[in-house]
Structure 1
Amino acid sequence: MFEALPNAPVVYTATNGPQAIKILEVEPIKVFVCDLMLPRMDGLQVLSVVKHRFPHVRTVVLTSVVDEEIRSRVYSLGVDLFWQKPSNEEELRMFLECVSSLLDQSVETSGFRGVQNKSLVDIIQLECLTQTTGILKVTNGPLEGKIWFQQGEIIDAETEGMFGEEAFKRIISWKEGAFEILPVDEARPRRIRKAFNALLLEAAQALDEKNQVASAEVAEAKQTARNKLLELIGDFNGIEFVLVQRGNGVVEAVGVDNPQRFVGWVNQVVTEFQVLGVQIQAGPLREIVGVGPQRNLGVIPLESGAICVGWHFNVPGEEVRELSRKVFARWES
């Protein structure tokens, strides 16, 4: 099926989650297509591991499971496309076009997932120019927003308890997520009366100002994080280094010569133990303790990322776990 695409991709297949992860480890995969009903590891577990360890890989769910809660959980993992298994030739053609579009995109591309990746401004402009009457539902992780259109005019928006222009500006500030068009389900009172071009212009100006402030805040936050790590090293006897990695790629590290390379090793170790935990039904991974002749290690997986603490080899192995937990608690406080 995929071999016939214009991109002429090389296709690899796997019969279960661990097998698929092994392929991702050794092959230059651009797009990962996954069912939700899999043996040994279910699709959501596989996707969680893939997004954690291979964030550059585009992910697609192709499933017969049609459930709004499942769809929301899938998109909250950062999946690019959720697609019900095609039931006719036209649906199959559309699905293959979407996969082809993902193959053509660079890994740095971000945007909103629907038929294909687009900016939210593009989507809104398209709905206005095509005189749409309906609801644009936008999800960004756990956040959800709706924008109401009436014959191409934006009449209302709602998110996080906000309505009207305030809600519209909040939604338009989201940099990525997923969208879908819903039919109008009720008469909606009009709270927005400005033309869509004026709304988008005001939103763009507000975003420019916000980005300028955010750049200064990011620089300050990085320095604050580094100072906090230095304090941790000073407060705990025996710490040689601390490294914190988040899912968005942010790495704070003190005492590590090559943080990015070390992060790759930490991600690999965490992923392999997560897979092992699923295979032996040991439950979620809490922490990893390593004892060696040069130094000891404590690794605590985060929701998206990990914190790794290196200890002097004189620190007893049985204390590494508890001390690493205390470092984590101090970092999160």
Structure 2
Amino acid sequence: MCVRLPGNQRLPESLRGGVVAIGNFDGVHRGHQAVLGRALGEAEKLGVPALVLTFEPHPRKVFRPDEPLFVLTPPKMKAKLLAKLGFAAVVEQAFTREFATKSAETFVTAILEENLGIGHVVTGFNFHFGKDRQGGPAYLMDAGKRYGFEVTLVDAFRDEDASIVSSSRIRSLLAEGDAVQAGGLLGYRFTVQGEVIGGQKLGRTLGFPTANMRLPADTALKEGIYAVRFRRADGTLHDAVASFGRRPTVDDNGAPLLETFLFDFSSDLYGEVCDVHFFGYLRGEEKFDGLEALVAQMKRDEAEARALLAGVRPLSELDAMIAF
């Protein structure tokens, strides 16, 4: 289990002296996994805990609050993925404008030394920290020599097309509805988490009862119909088809909602916090001439989703753990 800890407190002795991967890691994508995997390897070699130091909220939200940012992995989802990878703890450093004014030396002494008691840092080759980004790789290497911790820098990870894997690339793909390519860059199927809430129950009357979730307002996922898998709070997994959008046939003014129809399932899910894994985009939202046409299309969507999900295979060990 990966525990979530605040960054302004001294770590318990059992976690001090560990290997710490530092970064925002929004998406925990394959590029991030190159850094995270190196940290896990060093920790195993040394026989010490493996930890992650990250920053919440995302710095872009602090410096550009008026610009919506589609966060791929909110804190709970990020911690869940890091736990699956094998980390003992994720330390969430509160990122504020005040924190951003602290010097690079203060970051090293107050955060890395005093609070974390690190033995080894692993981070990307372009990691910068401290006021005006005054701390960089060379500064961190020198600080390690002065304070007695090791530093490992990891080069940028490139995909099969020799392009750098980034969270912004993945956001763009999801905004286009390309769940397949987004999953390829993530190394696992894009996943959202939310509490199942009550709805209008129209789907139930049509023979397609849905589990409804409101996602964060900044979720810039293309609206439409997706083949998905739905994991309940008890761990059980169900193939499903999901609609993300504003339901133009029945509710022109509705707020965006994720509505998931679980195949061969009829239990009550209200109040459960569940995960939805996106495997493929089927079609965009449409406005139909009445409910009969809508139901006919929903049946076609179900058949297409069943066929797609019948042939999927894990993208990685992480994907196998969360979506299979």
Same fold (TM over 0.5): no
TM band (smaller chain)? under 0.3
TM-score (norm. length: structure 1): 0.26
Q: Which has the higher contact order (CA 8 A, sep 6+)?
A: 2
